[in-house]
Amino acid sequence: MATTPRMKITYSTLSADNEELQSAFDAALEHARASLGQSYPMIIGAERRNSDRTFEDRSPIDRSLVVSRFPLGTAGDVRDAIAAARAAYPGWRDTPWRDRLAIMRRAAELISERAFDYAALMALEVGKNRLEALGDVEEAADLLRYYSDEFEKADGFVKPMGSLSAAEKTRSVLRPYGVFAVISPFNFPMALAGGPAAGAMIAGNTVVLKPSSDAPLLGWKFGEALRDAGLPDGVFNLVTGPGETVGAELETNPGIDGMVFTGSYEVGMRLYRGFTQDYPRPIITEMGGKNPAIVMPSADLDEAAEGVMRSAFGYDGQKCSANARVYVHRDVARPFIDKLVERTRGIRTGDPTERDNWMGPVINQRALDKFTDAVATTRADGGTIEVGGDADASVGYYPTPTVVSGLPLDHRLFHDELFVPFLVVGEVDSLDQAMHEANDTAYGLTAGIFSRNDAEIRTFLDTIQAGVVYVNRRAGATTGAWPGIQSFGGWKGSGSSGKGGLGPYYVQQFLREQSQTIIGE
């Protein structure tokens, strides 16, 4: 394992010029490459379960690289994992919460110590660049810390209440539900497997995780850190395999008391409708986005172009918060587009494990097909490819960062989430029109505005229908969130709970209230 330099890593403090960081990553990468192709088991209670039937987790950087092999889990494996989680639940629930938090904080420290090793594997597994991969790992560690701190601040969610007589004492106690299923996406393979699992476990629930089949390894590594931190067997279980079988069993099995899903709108809404049958069970669905940025005439156009470029093309447009559409005021449209094109041309693409490459591949062939289809549709429907439009699938899945203009504002490319580095720019005549277009979508995840006009900024903040919003942000028009700083959750078709991950109201969602009135205590 490579030595990790002691430094606080966040997305904003990471710097490509930090030599200590870069050489630590080089060492970790060498180590990670040497470990490729291993087989990993599922985690079911104390058992490490293998199977004759496995699937390959291949790198989008280079299809010939098998990153890991995992069992093709079955419904029976899920049932066993649920049984293990149910058996572990009473012990975990009754563990004093300070002891639970101590384990979680120890796991956070282990993840930070191993950040470079985990990040190097992540870069290979999902094609993130070095800094994005390090950020994802550190975010997972910080989620464990932040949710633990919030639980502690609330004193374990036991609150003395009023009383109607001297003989009677009442308290409100938030208590866990039981077993939570966590279904995670490929794009933040540690933070979005680990964060929801951490929320559930800190609150006293046990967990069955099903990671994305495009990124099972980092979910497994999260489990490894938990085990090494001393988590009792059965509190965290992991079953790998397809959504259609493993995910479906988690959806329908009555042994699951609650669920957190992060992924696409289509799958999330299916689960949201299907999860509740005989009586309500909590389900948190964090879903997609088609995140808009608005650029007004008073904007600093360099700041706007930089912020849009970073959010549209960071991790290849594969962040749920990616900036996918821009509404720019007609008066400044051409100079804005020119600046954006210039910056986009400057993006270095290629193998993202190389330190100078900022953009890498998209996750799989399906994603690359979506990209080439969007380019073809733009051409067929009379749009202009301002920059990009090419793809190279010879080794991995590499699209070029693409900006298009000239499509009608009601075109489907302004509305459908693509999750690839493809940005549509439309011209508007007023802020009212921009707001109407920005809100005219099923999604409501993130949004941004560039303007120096206070009234415009106020209108934007008052009327935008999105859970995470940014004003004049050069570092990212619509992206960027950190535990304890930006809560991250969608409105409308982007999220069901109205309470963001990474924020102060998250852990409570894994708890239900019990009012306890006791006479003569």
List residues near ligand NAD by CB under 6 A: 183-188, 192, 210, 212-213, 243-244, 247-248, 251, 262-264, 267, 271, 286-289, 320, 417, 419, 445, 488, 490, 494-495
Close Cβ partners of 443 (under 8 Å, ≥ 6 residues apart): 265, 287, 288, 289, 290, 291, 417, 490, 492, 493, 494
Pairing mode, if any, of strands 236-238 and 206-210? parallel
Report whether 453 contacts 296 (CB < 8 A): yes
The residue among 80 and 417 lying less far from ligand NAD, judged by its C-beta, is 417
Cβ contact 418:371 at 8 Å:
yes
Q: Which is nearer to ligand NAD, 117 or 417 (CB)?
A: 417
Please name the amino acid found at residue 315.
Answer: Y
Q: Give, to the nearest 10 degrees, the angle between helix 115-126 and helix 130-153.
A: 120
Query: Please, which residues bridge with residue 63 across strands?
Result: none
Q: Reply yes or no on whether 152 is catalytic.
A: no
Nearest distance from residue 423's CB to ligand NAD, in Å? 15
Asked whether 176 and 182 are in contact (CB, 8 A), the reply is no
Residue type at 14? L
Query: Nearest CA to 240 among 265, 262, 261, 210?
Result: 210
Tell me the β-bridge partners of 42.
Answer: 49
DSSP 467: S
Catalytic residue selected from 132, 150, 286, 303 = 286
Tell me the closest approach of the beta carbon of residue 476 to ligand NAD, in angstroms: 15
The full length of the chain comes to: 521
- Closer CB to ligand NAD, residue 185 or residue 234? 185
Task: Collect all residues with Cβ–Cβ distance below 8 Å to 320 and sequence separation of at least 6.
Answer: 185, 187, 286, 287, 288, 289, 445, 490, 494
Tokens of 191: 């933070």
Least distance (Å) between residue 488 CB and ligand NAD: 6
Which listed residue (320, 417, 427, 437) is catalytic? 320
End-to-end CA distance of the chain: 54
Name the minimum Å distance from CB 56 to ligand NAD.
15
What distance in Å separates the CA atoms of residue 400 and residue 356, rounded to the nearest whole number? 16
Name the residue nearer to ligand NAD (CB basis): 123 or 183: 183
- Alpha-helical regions (H) of 245-354: 248-252, 265-274, 301-313, 333-345
390 is written with which tokens?
């090419």
Rounded least distance, CB 433 to ligand NAD, Å? 26
131 φ, ψ to 5°?
A: -70, -35
Q: Under 8 Å CB-to-CB from 363, ≥6 apart: which residues?
A: 60, 126, 127, 186, 187, 214, 318, 397
DSSP 494: G
Q: Catalytic residue at 286?
A: yes
Q: How far is the CB of 462 from ligand NAD (least distance, A)?
A: 23
| Closer residue to ligand NAD, CB minimum distance, 122 or 304 | 122
Give whichever of 267 and 435 is closer to ligand NAD, judged by the CB atom. Answer: 267
Q: Which is nearer to ligand NAD, 204 or 495 (CB)?
A: 495
Smaller CB separation from ligand NAD, 271 or 449: 271
Q: Which of 93, 89, 90, 83 is nearest to 204 (CA)?
A: 93
Shortest CB 215 distance to ligand NAD, Å: 8
DSSP labels, 344-379: HHT--BS-TTSTT--B---SSHHHHHHHHHHHHHHH
Minimum distance from residue 520 beta carbon to ligand NAD (Å) = 48
Closer of 97 and 265 to ligand NAD (Cβ): 265
Sign for the pseudo-dihedral over CA of 323, 329, 332, 334: positive
Distance of closest approach, residue 399 Cβ to ligand NAD, in angstroms: 16
- Where in the sequence numbering do the catalytic residues fall? 286, 320
